[in-house]
Amino acid sequence: MTVHRLADSFVDFRSDNTGAAAPEIVDALAAANSGTAAGYGNDRWTELVQRRFSELFEKDVQVFPVATGTAANALALASLSPPWGAVYCSPKAHIETSEANATGFFGAGVKLVLVEGDYGKIAAPALKTTLVATGIGQKHKSQPAALNLTQATDMGAVYRLDEVRALTELAHAYKMKVHMDGARFANALARLGCTPAEATWKAGVDVLSFGVTKNGGLLCDAIVVFSDGIAEPLAYHVRRAGQVWSKMRYAAAQLLAYVEDGLWLKNAARANALAQRIDSGLKALPGVKRAAPIEANEVFLELPPKVMDGMERDGIVFFRRAPTLGRFVCRFNGNEAEVDALLASLRRNLSAAA
Amino acid sequence: MTVHRLADSFVDFRSDNTGAAAPEIVDALAAANSGTAAGYGNDRWTELVQRRFSELFEKDVQVFPVATGTAANALALASLSPPWGAVYCSPKAHIETSEANATGFFGAGVKLVLVEGDYGKIAAPALKTTLVATGIGQKHKSQPAALNLTQATDMGAVYRLDEVRALTELAHAYKMKVHMDGARFANALARLGCTPAEATWKAGVDVLSFGVTKNGGLLCDAIVVFSDGIAEPLAYHVRRAGQVWSKMRYAAAQLLAYVEDGLWLKNAARANALAQRIDSGLKALPGVKRAAPIEANEVFLELPPKVMDGMERDGIVFFRRAPTLGRFVCRFNGNEAEVDALLASLRRNLSAAA
Amino acid sequence: MTVHRLADSFVDFRSDNTGAAAPEIVDALAAANSGTAAGYGNDRWTELVQRRFSELFEKDVQVFPVATGTAANALALASLSPPWGAVYCSPKAHIETSEANATGFFGAGVKLVLVEGDYGKIAAPALKTTLVATGIGQKHKSQPAALNLTQATDMGAVYRLDEVRALTELAHAYKMKVHMDGARFANALARLGCTPAEATWKAGVDVLSFGVTKNGGLLCDAIVVFSDGIAEPLAYHVRRAGQVWSKMRYAAAQLLAYVEDGLWLKNAARANALAQRIDSGLKALPGVKRAAPIEANEVFLELPPKVMDGMERDGIVFFRRAPTLGRFVCRFNGNEAEVDALLASLRRNLSAAA
Amino acid sequence: MTVHRLADSFVDFRSDNTGAAAPEIVDALAAANSGTAAGYGNDRWTELVQRRFSELFEKDVQVFPVATGTAANALALASLSPPWGAVYCSPKAHIETSEANATGFFGAGVKLVLVEGDYGKIAAPALKTTLVATGIGQKHKSQPAALNLTQATDMGAVYRLDEVRALTELAHAYKMKVHMDGARFANALARLGCTPAEATWKAGVDVLSFGVTKNGGLLCDAIVVFSDGIAEPLAYHVRRAGQVWSKMRYAAAQLLAYVEDGLWLKNAARANALAQRIDSGLKALPGVKRAAPIEANEVFLELPPKVMDGMERDGIVFFRRAPTLGRFVCRFNGNEAEVDALLASLRRNLSAAA
């Protein structure tokens, strides 16, 4: 993690987690701060979370608030796989690139198997090829256990529902379970325009990492369990993983505020719209290659190093994911002026480099 | 965890984690909610935590904010022990009774070895006896790795500094490291009247679980590392354990507010004073046996079940730790009237049972 | 493990694993050394083991040959417990005293809970008391998962069948599974005079560590699974634990020879008879206290250090388990002269010390 | 593992582990069966192994006999990597394809990272590219810990010494340790014609899995440690992994016989020579493509399914590694007639398919 030296005044496209939290969520947390409440989730806020999310997903779901997306992913996958199991994921997946072996840790040795596809997606034919060659039932082979789909993907693309269904059907045909890493689930939903149920269990998802932090939350994400047989053992695992707050109400209050009055979808729609504004602006800059379609709130651009140097000098801050790959993330509370500054800097530095 | 059916009006002595958070901490968290900040602890709040705690402990310490005390304990112990190591703890220790095998999980199979003592303490002679019989260097034996001291203990007692030193010297003589579970560290400090440094590294402690939640915090505790060679690998372990928030500033802000202007010690002193008020009141109730000396904010009383039944009917809520053992915890924001209600109910029900 | 400096001529009571292997077993291993055979247990010797053991136990059992008793125990227990589970065992149990945290390793953090009893046994009332206080379903508590019984015990005693049944019924009432550590199972069987079935699954045992090494084997023990739902996942776990030999036939041949024509019971009966000869000899030495009844092939005697010093000078080698506790183990291929030498040395040194 | 239905008379090229053991090794094992010996490796055979291997490798090495190659690999790698470490290996490596997540299990979550190269080798430039992009010191990334080289490779090729050195230098430059999986180390050595020292520590190898089973052994392989700081903790890990036999002398005797009078190299040379006979025979069959150069005792051929069907009907048994890839392994005790039968069948079926 390179810490960029920031100009006095700069425009921040580093990440959705560099941003502030939604004031509604902070207010709700503060409002929960009165009176006593039973510990470890036996409080009325957490009870309400279970009800509210069950309404939201049109199904009796079990919700486990946890501190981070890494915890959500690793606990979810550990709940789906025996220690000798294999989890299939994209080479771009957060669990592969950015979680410091958390899946192996929580899963007592569970292995990640990489499956190719475009833009951080898994391609169904590639998954099929991998599964066919897997050696089902062979005791010396890690056995297919779970499929990990990141929605939106780590390249800013969004799986269409038919793509999700094709993958989950294949997974289930091999008796695997399906985990959706929804660190940017709201952004995907805003893009797809479907219901939360349609995007998840109706499309074959068994467990969802429900991201909050990147879209206006602060200290809490959640695991949402759709399928049977998962939640009961998971309730022990979250506890032994140190992921159950004794003062759970302050986490539950965040989750409640996040989904209250559609805040999560409003936030996501705003962030996506800013990314779309970049997308539109790029049409006037034909030399710039998008590394993936811009479908959520992340923009990946292939840019010469000199152009990125110049943009940084202009006070545009962002992450360089490779020598010629820049990532620009739009936050729910970003604004059009920031996008326009980004586009102007990009234009200027492209001209200079030409 | 039995969820008590609470009367409309009740007096809550269940736990320090059933209470609200200190408004100063909630305010600080809200105040951090402005502008952008680098993720994962590369922000100025977290940097300030490192400085502020180093001043507080009169030593360059490394601070790892984590979500829960269980995470703090298990990560700290895993940083001190190889997988074939043994952690020595009291049979009353939280890591033994209440953390769902977290030490074994984070430590890849690390084992707890129970050592007796009074009131949740470990007695130095008992530790010595255990160590002598341990089989140092014998490959089929778990090897002494870490000593776990809970300060204040899980029975509400407080180790004197000479007791701590005797134990840590013994531990170090056996090449063990020392972990202090300070879930109620502030309460112990308020009792001891010594400096944080005197209570920890000057007394031989290598790593501290620095409790915040029970004394006015909400969603954050911390690991404080005093000794060399521990922090660098731990920095990876906290990350793979899903215990590093991307929006770390909201955790760091809690820690800063907690120690600002001695808030933590003021809170602890108030909770301790309420427990002392119970202690004083018990002098007029000679039939009641304290299960441990009342030295912090917890009160353990041996009581007939009928007396406890009656108290619950009176609206006094608390935890029954055994058929004839009740635990009453004083919160930093409890008050004298609550204590007096407790004492009155106790007196009334003792008379009725007599 | 102290390596005793041995006299030129000495009498060896150190352990049953210091002895040579039964020639029948070595011969069988050598006889298997012809032609080719499919690897990893897909050979006719291993197939025959499954059949032969199923006849022996009067039930379709699954047998997993493994390298050591530690592997057998740890894999068996891991197959019975989730990572947050508790395994109940005696403080004298081999899994507690002598396996270097193997249970925690194979079980991803599984915890041992010690339950008292006489002579290395678990007492049913003590188990009941522990279970009642356990906190079933409480997420912060390790949950009862498996009961570990060592038969014969690590103190040389043998559970009566009614004792076993009382314990397994209690365990099953709490939805636990039962593992029998049968490192000296043959010695127990020889003592009890019952069938293998009566000693195990008919008495409520779910999985057995079937000891071979201590009773004439050399490089192979086995796990025998009686109950459903255990063998299939275990088949993966043994493989990932590096406990499946590619040339399995040489392990299977050992197991076949071990049970052929009752060799195992003959060997055990001889070792037990030697221990009984010591027991008888002790009647003439009223000052010597047996630490446990002598019911299998191990003898534990409380002896003054000077007496043990003298015996060692006499060339009697054995293990000192504590400053005043000596362990003397009779091997299947020991003889009466050795026992008589032991008794003579004991008599002489007791007189000298008197 | 498909169990082939074998013809009454067949020629076995399935694996080197389907073969019988070298009679010298079985004889040595039987010869060890006399008298008593201290357990768990404190015997004179095991002591002699340490000495004999130190002579063989021209260095004070530590040898850990273990049951299987999987155990050797996984324990060796766990001794080189923290749980958040990455082990770099070929996609063809046994640890990746055939050990059921053992590396993750023994290493508490250690991750395998695949690096391309020809014929089961790792290509130094590919390793360099991977390491450059790794994110050294970034806490959310698994950190480079160990390089795994299979010698001979799992495709039957052999690294030249300069290739090994280029890779180990690169690894050490990144502060990684190097593990050589020598399941077929003798075959590689026979090919290279160098000393054991030159092939290992003099070329930068820190730990070697010393394969015995595939080249005439039966129930024992070994870990050989060259570098400092590894053996001491490993001594505990092998014990808690259930990989230390109490009657260790029977394992040590195998290792001694294996290297006595160069038996291991004679065996390997014979197996290699049979593979060379196939290689020569293939020159007359220009349509057959070798999937890798034939440099040890394994032959991988790209063949149409119909040809492989026909060969099986002819009684040639082997493993189909993919629909058009057959693996033929030459055993140390195979013979020229078998090779000639293989070549004849191949020729016949190729003609039939043409």
Report the range of poorest mean pLDDT among A196-205, B4-13, B270-279, C99-108: B4-13
Give the strand pairing for B207-210 and B177-182: parallel
Using omega within 30 degrees of 0 as the cis cutoff, is the peptide bond preceding A123 cis?
A: no
Query: Over the stretch A38-47, which tens digit does the pLDDT of each residue have?
Result: 999 999 999 9
Please, which pLDDT band fits residue A3 given cuts at 50, 70 and 90?
A: very low
Over 50: is that where the pLDDT of C201 sits? yes
**Whole-prediction pTM:** 0.96
Q: In angstroms, rounded to a whole number, what is the distance separating the alpha carbons of residues C14 and C8?
A: 16
Measured at the CA of C221, the angle between CA C179 and CA D36, to 5 degrees, comes to 125
pLDDT at C287: 85
Across the range B109-115, mean pLDDT stands at: 98
B109 close contact with A: CB closer than 8 A: no
Chain C nearest CA to B139, separation (Å): 7
Over 90: is that where the pLDDT of D8 sits? no
Q: Are B45 and B253 in contact (CB under 8 A)?
A: yes
Residues D240, B83: C-beta atoms closer than 8 Å:
yes
> Among A218, A88, A95, which Cα is nearest to A144's?
A88
Residues C83, A143: C-beta atoms closer than 8 Å:
no
The residue with tokens 């959310």 is D140
Q: Are B206 and B80 in contact (CB under 8 A)?
A: yes
Over 70: is that where the pLDDT of B7 sits? no
Beta-ladder partners of B63? B224
Give the closest of D100, D104, D322 to A139, CB-based: D100
Q: In angstroms, rounded to a whole number, what is the distance separating the alpha carbons of residues A222 and A204?
A: 19
Residues B246, A220: C-beta atoms closer than 8 Å:
no
Name all chains with 3 or more CB-CB pairs below 8 Å to chain C.
A, B, D
Give the closest of B1, B104, B141 to C109, CB-based: B104
Chain A positions touching D92 (Cβ under 8 A) are none
Query: Over the stretch C151-184, which tens digit does the pLDDT of each residue have?
Result: 999 999 999 999 999 999 999 999 999 999 999 9
Over 80: is that where the pLDDT of D97 sits? yes
Please, which pLDDT band fits residue B10 given cuts at 50, 70 and 90?
A: confident
Please, which pLDDT band fits residue B354 given cuts at 50, 70 and 90?
A: confident
Beta-carbon contacts of C167 under 8 Å, excluding residues fewer than 6 positions away, are: C122, C124, C127, C147, C149, C159, C178, C204
B25 close contact with A: CB closer than 8 A: no
> Among C219, C264, C236, which Cα is nearest to C53's?
C264
D137: closest chain A residue by CA: A1
D3: closest chain A residue by CA: A138
Give the closest of C97, C102, C108 to B105, CB-based: C108
Over 90: is that where the pLDDT of D238 sits? yes
Over 70: is that where the pLDDT of C3 sits? no
C100 close contact with D: CB closer than 8 A: yes
Please give the ipTM for the structure prediction.
0.95
D141 close contact with A: CB closer than 8 A: yes
Residues C139, B100: C-beta atoms closer than 8 Å:
yes
Chain A positions touching C83 (Cβ under 8 A) are 108, 237, 240
D140 close contact with B: CB closer than 8 A: yes
Across the range B171-184, mean pLDDT stands at: 98
Give the Cβ contact number of residue D283 at 10 Å: 8
pLDDT-above-70 percentage for chain B: 98
B7 close contact with A: CB closer than 8 A: no
Chain D nearest CA to B60, separation (Å): 21
C143 close contact with A: CB closer than 8 A: yes
pLDDT at B62: 98
Instruction: Count residue pairs from B and C with Cβ separation < 8 A.
Output: 73
Across the range D198-220, mean pLDDT stands at: 98
Query: Over the stretch B35-51, which tens digit does the pLDDT of each residue have?
Result: 999 999 999 999 999 99
| Average pLDDT taken over every residue of chain D | 96
Residues A98, D141: C-beta atoms closer than 8 Å:
yes
pLDDT at B5: 42
Over 90: is that where the pLDDT of B221 sits? yes
Q: In angstroms, rounded to a whole number, what is the distance separating the alpha carbons of residues C78 and C112?
A: 12
Q: In angstroms, rounded to a whole number, what is the distance separating the alpha carbons of residues A146 and A136?
A: 14
| Average pLDDT taken over every residue of chain C | 96
What phi, psi does D114 have (nearest 5°)?
-90, 135
Query: Over the stretch C48-100, which tens digit does the pLDDT of each residue have?
Result: 999 999 999 999 999 999 999 999 999 999 999 999 999 999 999 999 999 99
| Average pLDDT taken over every residue of chain A | 96
Q: In angstroms, rounded to a whole number, what is the distance separating the alpha carbons of residues D40 and A27?
A: 64
Q: Are A299 and A14 in contact (CB under 8 A)?
A: no
pLDDT at C193: 98
C135 close contact with D: CB closer than 8 A: no
pLDDT at A8: 54
- Please count the CA atoms within 13 angstroms of the CA of A234 that sit on its side-chain side: 27
pLDDT at A6: 44
A42 close contact with B: CB closer than 8 A: yes
Query: Over the stretch D71-90, which tens digit does the pLDDT of each residue have?
Result: 999 999 999 999 999 999 99
Residues D34, C18: C-beta atoms closer than 8 Å:
no
Across the range B114-120, mean pLDDT stands at: 98
pLDDT at A353: 87
Please, which pLDDT band fits residue A10 given cuts at 50, 70 and 90?
A: confident
Give the closest of D84, D108, D139 to B83, CB-based: D108
pLDDT at B287: 85
Q: Are A73 and A209 in contact (CB under 8 A)?
A: yes
Across the range A55-79, mean pLDDT stands at: 98
Residues A39, B100: C-beta atoms closer than 8 Å:
no
Report the range of poorest mean pLDDT among A218-222, D35-39, D78-82: D35-39
Across the range B274-280, mean pLDDT stands at: 98
